[in-house]
Structure 1
Amino acid sequence: MSNFTDGLRKNIREFPDFPEHLRDLFEADILRACESLEATEAENTQLQAEVGRSREALNWLLEEYHFLSRKMTEINNIVQPLWGELSERRNDYQLVEKFIERIQEEGLEQTLKGE
């Protein structure tokens, strides 16, 4: 029991002109309420600690998200120009491939070889 509960019990016992049988019931009810309050306070303290840990974890995740977001932006700034260049070269390759197909279709291979 806490000091508060012990003090309350003492005050109930020393209260003048209070019928003994009611005093026992009153004391029991108040003591149960105090025990419940103490349990609730302990649970509240535990929940506050859990909220604190959750808040720390959330802050860490947020920092990691911002870090990864900056890294993705950096990567994107590098990849975008390369992707554009690759796309241009792929188009060039496709044009050359079509040109070769056309030469083969028209039978101009021998002419180009100088035969």
Structure 2
Amino acid sequence: GYDTGVMGSVLALKAFKKDFGLPTESSGFADAKNAYVSSNVVSLLTAVCFFSAVSAAFINERFGRRYSLMFYSVIFLIGAAIQTAAHHKIGMIYGRRVTAGLGIGGMSAITPVFVSENAPPAVRG
């Protein structure tokens, strides 16, 4: 949730718009180019999360929960590094959102199972 919430605020910043060549005079996302970029940045993460969560079941069964969580965490960290390095390149932001979606979707599918299996029987519910 943090990644999605922060990105929504970042997209509205004038500094972000200026760095990535988006119109700064419009407020919010009234301009078509701003709306296009913001909708792509937000929807890419969500779409990839869905497909990653579905595919995580296969990776989870093949390699186990712990190694799968480590794998998806590394994927997310790679995505974070790409976004940090994305100076004036909106394509790198898109690529980072795809990479982050892979990591977040996989972790979202595996973490509840991992936690429930490792919780003491008295608190499992």
Larger RCO (CA within 8 A; separation ≥ 6):
2
Greater fraction of residues in helix: 1
- Does TM, scored on the shorter chain, surpass 0.5? no
Larger Rg: 1
TM normalised by structure 2 equals: 0.34
TM normalised by structure 1 equals: 0.37
